[in-house]
Structure 1
């Protein structure tokens, strides 16, 4: 019995299997931190609240300097 020679299909399968064995290492992962959307939203809200508080204090200080005082509510 004569030995059978590999067919083109066998060579194609072998080529596909060996092509996955590349010497190149996978690309390195970047060290970018993942953003935390909730944390960013809370920080933005706190910053906005602080700005409003500062604006209100400044407005109150200006009103006191101008002698505007708090308006009395009608009885």
Structure 2
């Protein structure tokens, strides 16, 4: 049970950690693995969208030239 908790905790804390929790079908109805399913299906895709949005914003900022600001 500690492995899914470790993976989720690290995934919540570290933006560069995007591993899915492996869900053993034998234990898939246990509460920890129910939470892991939500982590895999909702948090990881949302996290990817947030990262893509941030990267897009950063690239837009880097495209601004000093002349754009002064003119």
TM range (shorter): 0.3 to 0.5
More helix by share: 2
Q: TM-score, normalised by structure 1?
A: 0.39
Higher RCO (C-alpha under 8 Å, 6+ residues apart): 2
Q: TM-score, normalised by structure 2?
A: 0.41
Q: Which has the larger radius of gyration?
A: 1
